[in-house]
Amino acid sequence: MYIVRQFLYVLGKGERYIMMKEFSMHIMDIVENSIVAGADRISIYISEDEKENRFRFSVVDNGRGMPKDFVDKIRDPFTTSRTTRKVGLGIPMLEQTCIQCGGHLDIESRVGEGTTITAVMEYNHIDRPPLGDMAKSLYLMVLMNQRIIFLYNHKVNKNEFEFDMKEVREIIGDLPLDTPEISSWLKESIYSGIEELYLL
């Protein structure tokens, strides 16, 4: 189940290219790759630090990982492990943005252990794209991939919001997340938690 395609199925190619300019879409694309790689635990970390002038996000998974030779080539837009398309533009586009904004992209992966992708750049750089609608993105990722344990940690200066699907499962058990009451509660928790980061 490809969450990015589900999220963008009503958009044309031009709109998708524009949307990928927002980091929420890059994060969803990376998460999609983690899911394809068999991950059942995915952690997303975002830090927006105006004082240090740093914007940073990481996606960490416990999927199959990648061999070193593939990691060395993954920044090539013509390298992809998928059979459904020949060109993988997500990582090369993201790295280009990081460099353009005074930062860098790190990729660490071990076969059988998982992969960590970290993007770092200047917070106030004029070319830095917006984060985008992370509340909507996180809600869709959680709802569409109920077997996966997501951890989401988001810091804006000194404010912090954390959503841990492991803790949610301890509360609701095996109840489906798309049960109306649970879905509504999840949505409110995620949306209000992220919104409050920017209000305090």
pLDDT tens profile 81-133 = 544 433 346 888 899 999 999 999 999 999 999 999 999 999 999 999 999 99
Question: Are 166 and 148 in contact, with CB atoms under 8 Å apart?
Answer: no
Strands (E), 18-64: 41-49, 54-61
Q: What is the pLDDT of residues 179-199, one digit of tens each?
A: 999 999 999 999 999 999 998
| Domain edges within the chain | 3-197
SS3 139: helix
SS3 153: strand
Please tell me the class of the 3-197 domain: alpha beta
User: What are phi and psi for residue 140, nearest 5 degrees?
Assistant: -65, -40
Q: What is the pLDDT of residues 4-37, one digit of tens each?
A: 444 444 334 444 444 457 999 999 999 999 999 9
**Token digits of residue 170:** 């301890």
Sheet architecture: strand order including 149-156: 104-110, 114-122, 54-61, 41-49, 149-156, 159-164
Query: Which residues pair with residue 54 across a beta bridge?
Result: 49, 122
pTM of the model: 0.85
